[in-house]
Amino acid sequence: MKTNFNLATVPLENNRRFIAGSSVFTILALAAMALLSWNAVRVRQANREMRVAIDNLQEQVRIAQRQQEALRVTFESPQAVEALKRSEFLNRLIETRTFPWTKMFADLEQILPAGVRVKSISPQMDSQGNVKVVLAVGAVNDEQAIKFLNSIDASPVFSGVRVMQESHPQKEHYGDDDKVLVNLEAYYSIS
């Protein structure tokens, strides 16, 4: 006769499923930890490379700022300012000499009515190549002055005609029979 006696205070339990499950969970946790560690190392390495690139760019900016400051000091020196003024003066002279005076006089000759004469012409060329002309014109009477204004306004080579001043001088100068003086500005088409 065989009897089964269990003398243990706690009955025997089978923990194989728990041990297998916890082993699988531990393996997955270790794999996730390894993956996250690898990602953290990669991100840290990328951040280090980014910091080095940023430091290099900041150094380049500092070098460029020092060069800019040195150039600013150079260009603000009295010699550079004098050279700039001289070059501006020479450029204005060149622009004045390259102005097509003959063409403009020919265009004015076509639109000037009898009894009107040009007293002065002052062209100014801007950076875009537009020529603004300030004209002082004398006329023997109001009718001729109006004819001139109508003809210059209708001319294809003058645009934006604007009368700045009109006067009727009381005293006639020696040999000057202009009764009406008109100052105007207009844009002149060079082409």
Which tens digits make up the pLDDT trace of 63-121?
Answer: 999 999 998 888 888 888 898 888 888 887 776 666 788 888 888 889 888 888 889 88
User: How many contiguous H segments (helices) and E segments (strands) does the chain have?
Assistant: 4, 4
Q: At what angle do helices 78-98 and 16-75 cross, to 10 degrees?
A: 70
Q: What is the pLDDT of residues 38-70, one digit of tens each?
A: 999 999 999 999 999 999 999 999 999 999 999
Topology annotation, domain 97-188:
Alpha-Beta Plaits (3.30.70)
Least confident of 5-14, 17-26, 127-136, 151-160: 5-14
Q: How far is CA 27 from each of CA 18, 35, 168, rounded to the nearest angstrom?
A: 14, 12, 108
Q: How far, in Å, CA of 82 to CA of 175, rounded?
A: 45
* pLDDT surpassing 70 at residue 137: yes
Beta-sheet strands, E only, within 74-171: 116-125, 131-139, 158-167
Least confident of 9-18, 132-141, 161-170: 9-18
User: According to the model, what pLDDT value does residue 172 have?
Assistant: 58
Q: What is the pLDDT of residues 125-136, one digit of tens each?
A: 776 767 888 999
Q: How confident is the model at residue 177 (pLDDT cuts 50, 70, 90)?
A: confident
Q: Residues 173-179: what's their mean pLDDT?
A: 64
Of all residues in the chain, what percent are helix, strand and coil, respectively (each to 5)? 55, 20, 25
Q: How far, in Å, CA of 132 to CA of 125, rounded?
A: 6
Q: Which two tokens stand for residue 34?
A: 């390894």
pTM of the predicted structure, to 2 decimals: 0.49
User: According to the model, what pLDDT value does residue 66 have?
Assistant: 94
User: According to the model, what pLDDT value does residue 165 have?
Assistant: 87
Q: How far, in Å, CA of 109 to CA of 117, rounded?
A: 10
